[in-house]
Amino acid sequence: MYQGVIMAGFGGQGVVSGGILLAYSGMVDGKQVTFFPAYGAEMRGGTANCSVVISSEEIASPVVAFPDSLMILNEPSLGKFEPTLRSGGILFLNSSLVESRSKRDDIETIEIPANDIAEEIGNIKCINMVMIGAYAQKTGAIDLEAVKNSVKKVYVRANEKILEMNRKAIDRGAELVK
């Protein structure tokens, strides 16, 4: 099993911290993982993306040129990364913010109203967790329980209320693709 995924959006959407959670969860799940972040100079509002590889085999390179899955959180990221998604791949699209839709017929697109769900839960910062929950459930690349259990280890400064919101967001994302 080999799964290359790119999560992309703008700073403040939790793209990089979401990638860290994916990588850590993969390790907890007994997989080989790599994590490669990239972001602009701006702390919030600039571009951010990360590549994560989750594999049952040794990984040769952290570079994900043609991902198996994309988690797209904002409009500009769709235009930039959609062409790189391999044929047969899965596009997880934050339909709350991204107005465009894929015109490709060789991929599966799953629309996730991540912002709307995060607002319902009570914290807009949970949009990355909603997307990760959907990704984990749909692809099976990492165990959903490993992700939820890893939240406390990755977000060590978060209080229990915030940790529980994140777990709830992961569950809500997973429910959308069951």
Domain ranges in the chain are: 2-176
Residue 42: the pLDDT is 56
- How much is the average pLDDT of 39-43? 64
Length of the chain: 178
131 neighbors 113 (Cβ within 8 angstroms) = no
Q: What's the pLDDT tens digit per position in 24-36?
A: 999 999 999 999 9
Query: How far out from the chain centre does Cα 81 lie?
Result: 14
Q: Quick one: which of 11, 72, 86 has its CA closest to 41?
A: 11
pTM, to two decimals: 0.95
Query: How far out from the chain centre does Cα 30 lie?
Result: 19
Give the CATH superfamily of 2-176: Pyruvate-ferredoxin oxidoreductase, PFOR, domain III (3.40.920.10)
Q: How confident is the model at residue 43 (pLDDT cuts 50, 70, 90)?
A: low
Q: List Cα–Cα distances, 140 to 13, 89, 124, 175, in angstroms.
A: 23, 14, 25, 14
Q: Quick one: which of 165, 158, 131, 138 has its CA closest to 19?
A: 131
Q: Quick one: which of 35, 108, 50 has its CA closest to 81?
A: 50
Query: Is residue 144 scored above 60 in pLDDT?
Result: yes
Beta bridge pairs of residue 127: none
Both tokens assigned to 159: 């209080």
* 116 HSE (CA, 13 A, CB side): 10
Residue 44: the pLDDT is 59
61 neighbors 4 (Cβ within 8 angstroms) = no
Q: What's the pLDDT tens digit per position in 121-134?
A: 999 999 999 999 99
- How much is the average pLDDT of 61-87? 95
Query: Is residue 106 scored above 80 in pLDDT?
Result: yes
Residue 177: the pLDDT is 97
